[in-house]
C-alpha cells in the first residue's frame, strides 16, 4: 500500500474574474445553477426509487461543462462518460428529456433504453454517455477523423475523468489523434478521484496535462475548473486550434465533485476527508460567480432570487413531466437492436 | 465465367464498394503501403489514396473505436483486423460500442461498420494465432456475423455487409485466400441471413460454414461414391442464422452432422443442434453429432495440429455413425 503523498494536482485557489460581460455571465450562471439544482433533484429522485441502477452526479463540476460547451457551435460534437447529466443540459438537451431518461420513461432522450449513463441526442450532436472507462475516447478520435475526412471545420469535445489517462484506449486514441492531426479536445475533468482512488495513487505522473508530451503537436494545458471564465478562455483557444489548424489538445481541468462517486458512495469520510470537502466548498463554481456578480453590481440579490425561483420551476417541471411519462411498452424490448436498412 | 481467388474476390468487393460510395474507407494494419498483410487490399491505396486507405498503428482497440466513432457520424468504415486473434484487444469496441449503440441511444445512432479479417486456424501458426471466434461474436445481439467459404460468397457477402447499416463481423480465413472459384463479372449481392445448399442429397445433412464448407463438399463428393448423398448447408451468415433452411434440410434427410472450426463447449454447433432438436425432433432418426476442434489450444507440431483439427476423415466417420453404418 503506497504512502499517501501530496499531489501536485491540487485544485488551484478560486480566481473568479470580476470583469465579465454581464449578459454572458448571467447565461453562465443560469446554466450552472440549472445543472446544480437539477442534480440535487436527481439525488432526491434516486433516494425515492424513481431512478435505478448507477447514478453519478455532476455537482461541483458545472463550470467545466458550461465553460466548454458554451463555446461550441451547433454542428460541433460532444461525447463523454457516465457522469453526463451536466454536459447534456449544457448542450441543450431539455431538463424534461434528461429527467425522463433518468426515470426510464419513453420521453427520455434515449427513449428509456439508455438510462443515466447513456444520454444521447442526435439533434444536439450529443453522442453519449458511455459506461466503460476510456471506451469513448477512440470514438471521439473517430468523430475527429470523420470531420477531417469530409473537410469540415467542426470540432469534437471528449470529456473524461482523471482515471481515463491510465487506460490503454486513452493512449491509442491520443496517439492517433496527434499522428493524424484530428480536431478533438480531450478534456480531463480531474476531480482528484477515480471512484475511491486518489489520482496520486493511480497515475505515475500525476500532472495529467503532461501526458500530452507523449503526443507531438498536442498541447497539454492545466485549467482551473472551478472558474468558469478560466475554462471558457482555455476552451476558446483550444477550439480555435482544433478548428483552424486541426490540432488536438489535452485540457486537464482541475475540478471537484461535492457528492460521492455515485449515489452508492458516501460523500466523505472514507477515501477523502470531510475537511477536504469543506475546504473545496469555498471554490463552489456556481456561488463564486454569483458572489462576484453581486460584488461587481452586475446582478442584484433580487435578480439572483428570481433566477433561483425560475430554475426551481424548470426542475420541478422536468420532474413532473418525467413522472407523467409512461414506461416503454413491452414491445419496445425488441426495438432498435438492428436497423433493417441498407445504403 | 472468370475463375478468381477468394482474395481477389474480396479485393473486387472493396474496390467496387469504395467506388460506389465515397463514405466507405478501409483502415487497419498494413492495408496501404504494404498492400495488405494477406494482399486483400492490393492496389487500393494507389487507386483511392491515403485518406481512404489508412495504415494504422498497431492499436486494435484504438482504431476499431475510431471506426465506430466515424460510423456514428455517417462514414462507412471497413476495419481490417490482421487476424481475429488480435481483435480480442478490440472486443470492447465491437461489443460494448458497436453492438449496443443503437439500442442504448434509443434508436438514434446506428453504426454502419464492417469488421473483417481472417478467422480460425491456418498451418502451424500456434496457439495464439489459430482461434475461431464465431461463437464469441455470434452471441451478441446488435451485430451480424458472416463467414463465407468460397470466392463467390466472399464477394457477394462483403458487398452486402458494407451496404448494411448495422455492424457486421466478417470472418475470412488465411487458408481461403488462395482458393479459387467462379465469380461472375458484373454486379451481384448475396443477402445476409440466407444459407446456401452447396450439395443436395437425402441421406444426411451437414451444417457448416467458412473454411469447413470446403471440407464438407469434399466429404459429400467422397461419400457419394459409397452411395451416401448429402445436403451440405452452408450457413454463410451465423447471426442471424437461417434456421428455416436448416429445418427444411433436416426434415428431408432426418440425420445431421454439424461441422465447425471452433471448440466444443458453447460452439456454434451447440446452437445448431439446439435448433434442430427443438424443431425437428420427430423427424430425426439419430442424434445430431458435431465435428469440431479438439479441446486444446492449437499445438505447433505438425502431427498434433492435424489431430486437433476437424477434417474430412472425422466428418465421414460422424456421417457414417448417424447413418448407423460405421
Residue B311 belongs to a domain: yes
Asked if the model's pLDDT at residue A11 lies above 60, the reply is: no
**Residues from chain B contacting residue A108 (CB–CB below 8 Å):** 106
> Which of B24, B49, B104 to mutate to test binding with chain A, by most A CBs within 10 Å of its CB?
B104
Phi, psi (deg, nearest 5) at residue A194: -95, 100
Do B109 and A169 lie within an 8 Å CB cutoff?
A: no
**Residue where a domain terminates, one of B182, B209, B228:** B182
Catalytic one among B16, B30, B129, B139?
B129
Interface check A109 vs B, CB under 8 A: yes
Q: For chain B, what percent of residues have pLDDT higher than 70?
A: 100
Tell me the per-residue pLDDT of A173-209, one tens digit each, with 9 for 90 and over.
Answer: 999 999 999 999 999 999 999 999 999 999 999 999 9
What confidence score (pLDDT) does residue A20 get? 73
Q: What is the pLDDT of residue A8?
A: 35
Is B158 among the domain residues? yes
* pLDDT over 70 at B225, yes or no: yes
CATH number, domain with residue B206 = 3.40.50.920
Nearest partner of B257 among B308, B292, B293, judged by Cα: B292
Whole-angstrom CA distances from A128 to A11, A83, A125, A288, B270 are: 27, 10, 9, 29, 37
Indicate if B78 and B163 belong to the same structural domain: yes
Q: Are residues B221 and B287 in the same domain?
A: yes
**A139 at interface of B, judged by CB pairs closer than 8 A:** yes
pLDDT(A162) > 60: yes
**B269 and B292 Cβ atoms separated by less than 8 Å:** yes
- pLDDT given at position A2: 38
A146·B74 Cβ contact <8 A: yes
Could you tell me if B77 and B113 lie in one domain? yes
- For residue A89, the model assigns a pLDDT of 98
Give the rounded percent of residues in chain B with a pLDDT score beyond 90.
99
Judge if ipTM > 0.95. yes
Give tens-digit pLDDT for B165-178.
999 999 999 999 99
Among A75, A135, A142, the strongest candidate for a mutation testing the B interface, having the largest count of B CBs within 10 A, is A142
pLDDT score of A10: 36
> Alpha-carbon distance A142 to A236, whole Å?
22
- The reply to whether B318 falls in a domain is yes
Q: Are strands B144-146 and B237-239 parallel, antiparallel or unpaired?
A: antiparallel
Residue B173 in grid coordinates: 480465413
Which residues lie closer than 8 Å to B312 by C-beta, 6 or more apart? Answer: B215, B218, B219, B222
Q: Of A110, A121, A173, which has the smallest distance from its Cβ to B62's Cβ?
A: A173
Catalytic status, residue B129 = yes
**What's the pTM?**
0.96
- Looking at the structure, tell me whether residues B173 and B203 fall in a common domain: no
Q: What is the pLDDT of residue B237?
A: 98
Distance from CA of A76 to the nearest CA of B (A): 11
In a domain, B188, yes or no: no
- Asked whether the predicted pLDDT for residue B290 surpasses 50, the reply is yes
Report if residue B35 sits inside a domain.
yes
CB B288 within 8 A of CB B258: yes
Domain boundary among B182, B215, B239: B182
Number of domains chain B contains = 2
Residue B278 included in any domain: yes
Query: Are residues A336 and B164, on separate chains, in Cβ contact within 8 Å?
Result: no
CATH number at residue B162: 3.40.50.970
Q: What is the mean pLDDT of chain A?
A: 93
Residue count of chain B: 326
Mean pLDDT of A235-259: 96
- Please indicate, yes or no, whether residues B75 and B148 belong to a single structural domain of this protein: yes
pLDDT (tens digit, 9 = 90+) per residue, B238-273?
999 999 999 999 999 999 999 999 999 999 999 999
**Residue given cell 474480396 in the structure block:** B10
Q: How far apart are CA B223 and CA A74, in angstroms?
A: 66
pLDDT digits (tens, 9 = 90+) for A136-145: 999 999 999 9
Q: Say which of B59, B104, B166 has its CB closest to residue A338.
A: B166
pLDDT given at position B219: 98
| Closest Cβ–Cβ partner in B66, B76, B106 for A114 | B106
Q: Identify the domain containing residue B234 by its residue range.
A: 196-322
Q: Quick one: closest CA in B to A106, which residue? A: B106
Cross-strand partners of B259? B291
Q: Are residues B8 and B107 in the same domain?
A: yes
**CATH 3.40.50.970, domain A35-321, yes or no:** yes
Asked if B97 and A135 touch (Cβ cutoff 8 Å), the reply is yes
Answer yes or no: do B205 and B161 share one domain. no
Which positions ≥6 away from A21 have C-beta within 8 Å?
none
Q: Are B213 and B251 found together in one domain?
A: yes
pLDDT for the residue numbered B227: 96
pLDDT at position A18 is 39
The model's pLDDT over B174-204, given as tens digits with 9 standing for 90+, comes to 999 999 999 999 999 999 999 999 999 999 9
- How far A154 CA sits from the closest chain B CA (Å)? 12
Do A145 and B66 lie within an 8 Å CB cutoff? Answer: yes
The answer to whether residue B60 is catalytic is yes
Domain boundary among B138, B157, B182: B182
Same domain, B16 and B122: yes
Co-location of B225 and B266 in the same domain: yes
Name the packing angle between helices A136-149 and B60-72 (round to 10°): 60
Residue B191 forms part of a structural domain: no
Number of Cβ pairs < 8 A linking chain A and chain B? 153
* B112 shares a domain with B56: yes
**Residue B252 domain-assigned (yes or no):** yes
Percent of chain A past pLDDT 70, that is, above it, reads: 94
Residues 6+ apart with CB under 8 A from A227: A14, A15, A16, A17, A63, A285, A288
Span B321-326, mean pLDDT? 90
**What distances in angstroms separate CA B228 from CA A327, B200, B215, B224, one per listed residue?**
57, 11, 16, 5
Spatial neighbors of B285 by CB under 8 A, at least 6 apart, are B254, B255, B322
The radius of gyration of chain B's CA atoms, rounded to the nearest angstrom, is: 20
The reply to whether B223 and B162 lie within a common domain is no
Please give the Cα distance from B71 to B76 (Å, whole number): 6
Amino acid at each position: 500500500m503506497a504512502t499517501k503523498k501530496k499531489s501536485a494536482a491540487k485544485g488551484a485557489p478560486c480566481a473568479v474574474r470580476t470583469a465579465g460581460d454581464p449578459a454572458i455571465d448571467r447565461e453562465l450562471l443560469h446554466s450552472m445553477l440549472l445543472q446544480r439544482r437539477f442534480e440535487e433533484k436527481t439525488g432526491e429522485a434516486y433516494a425515492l426509487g424513481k431512478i435505478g441502477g448507477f447514478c453519478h452526479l455532476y455537482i461541483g463540476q458545472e463550470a467545466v461543462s458550461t465553460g466548454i460547451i458554451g463555446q461550441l457551435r451547433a454542428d460541433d460534437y460532444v461525447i463523454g462518460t457516465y457522469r453526463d447529466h451536466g454536459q447534456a443540459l449544457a448542450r441543450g438537451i431539455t431538463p424534461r428529456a434528461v429527467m425522463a431518461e433518468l426515470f426510464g420513461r419513453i420521453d427520455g432522450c434515449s427513449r428509456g433504453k439508455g438510462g443515466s449513463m447513456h444520454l444521447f441526442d442526435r439533434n444536439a450532436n450529443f453522442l453519449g454517455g458511455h459506461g466503460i472507462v476510456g471506451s469513448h475516447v477512440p470514438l471521439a478520435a473517430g468523430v475527429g477523423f470523420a470531420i477531417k475526412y469530409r473537410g469540415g471545420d467542426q470540432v469534437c469535445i471528449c470529456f473524461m475523468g482523471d482515471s481515463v489517462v491510465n487506460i490503454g484506449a486513452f493512449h491509442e486514441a491520443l496517439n492517433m489523434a496527434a499522428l493524424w492531426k484530428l480536431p478533438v479536445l480531450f478534456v480531463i475533468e480531474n476531480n482528484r478521484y477515480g471512484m475511491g482512488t486518489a489520482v496520486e495513487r493511480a497515475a505515475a505522473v500525476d500532472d495529467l496535462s503532461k501526458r500530452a508530451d507523449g503526443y507531438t503537436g498536442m498541447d497539454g494545458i492545466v485549467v482551473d475548473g472551478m472558474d468558469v471564465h478560466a475554462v471558457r478562455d482555455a476552451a476558446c483557444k483550444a477550439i480555435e486550434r482544433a478548428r483552424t489548424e486541426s490540432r488536438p489538445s489535452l485540457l486537464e481541468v482541475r475540478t471537484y465533485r461535492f457528492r460521492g462517486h455515485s449515489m452508492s458512495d458516501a460523500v466523505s469520510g472514507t477515501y477523502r476527508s470531510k475537511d477536504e470537502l469543506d475546504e473545496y466548498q469555498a471554490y463552489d463554481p456556481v456561488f463564486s460567480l454569483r458572489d462576484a456578480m453581486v460584488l461587481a453590481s452586475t446582478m442584484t440579490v433580487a435578480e439572483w432570487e428570481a433566477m433561483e425561483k425560475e430554475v426551481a420551476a424548470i426542475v420541478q417541471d422536468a420532474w413532473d413531466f418525467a413522472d407523467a411519462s409512461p414506461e416503454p411498452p413491452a414491445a419496445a424490448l425488441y426495438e432498435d437492436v438492428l436497423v433493417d436498412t441498407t445504403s | 465465367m472468370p475463375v478468381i481467388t477468394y482474395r481477389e474476390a474480396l479485393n473486387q468487393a472493396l474496390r467496387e464498394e469504395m467506388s460506389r460510395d465515397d463514405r466507405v474507407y478501409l483502415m487497419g494494419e498494413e492495408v496501404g503501403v504494404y498492400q495488405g498483410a494477406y494482399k486483400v487490399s492490393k492496389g487500393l491505396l494507389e487507386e483511392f489514396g491515403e485518406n481512404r486507405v489508412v495504415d494504422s498503428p498497431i492499436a486494435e482497440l484504438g482504431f476499431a473505436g475510431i471506426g465506430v466513432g466515424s460510423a456514428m457520424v455517417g462514414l462507412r468504415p471497413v476495419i481490417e483486423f490482421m487476424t481475429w486473434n488480435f481483435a480480442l484487444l478490440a472486443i470492447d469496441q465491437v461489443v460494448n460500442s458497436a453492438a449496443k449503440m443503437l439500442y442504448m441511444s434509443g434508436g438514434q445512432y446506428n453504426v454502419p461498420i464492417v469488421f473483417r479479417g481472417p478467422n480460425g486456424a491456418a498451418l502451424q501458426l500456434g496457439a495464439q494465432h489459430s482461434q475461431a471466434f464465431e461463437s464469441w461474436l455470434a452471441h451478441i445481439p446488435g451485430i451480424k456475423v458472416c463467414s463465407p467459404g468460397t470466392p463467390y460468397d466472399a464477394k457477394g457477402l462483403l458487398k452486402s455487409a458494407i451496404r448494411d447499416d448495422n455492424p457486421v463481423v466478417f470472418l475470412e480465413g488465411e487458408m481461403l485466400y488462395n482458393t479459387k472459384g467462379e465469380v461472375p463479372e458484373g454486379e451481384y449481392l448475396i443477402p445476409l441471413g440466407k444459407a446456401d445448399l452447396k450439395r443436395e442429397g437425402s441421406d444426411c445433412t451437414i451444417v457448416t460454414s467458412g473454411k469447413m464448407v470446403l471440407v464438407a463438399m469434399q466429404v459429400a463428393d467422397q461419400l457419394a461414391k459409397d452411395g451416401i448423398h448429402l445436403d451440405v448447408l452452408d450457413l454463410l451468415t451465423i447471426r442471424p442464422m437461417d434456421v428455416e433452411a436448416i429445418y427444411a434440410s433436416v426434415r428431408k434427410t432426418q440425420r445431421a452432422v454439424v461441422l465447425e472450426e471452433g471448440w466444443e463447449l458453447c460452439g456454434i454447433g451447440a446452437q445448431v443442434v439446439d435448433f434442430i432438436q427443438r424443431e425437428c425432433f420427430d423427424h430425426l432418426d439419430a442424434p445430431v453429432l458435431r465435428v469440431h476442434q479438439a479441446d486444446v489450444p492449437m499445438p505447433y507440431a505438425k502431427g498434433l495440429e492435424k489431430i486437433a483439427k476437424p477434417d474430412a476423415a472425422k466428418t465421414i466417420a460422424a456421417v457414417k455413425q448417424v447413418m448407423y453404418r460405421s
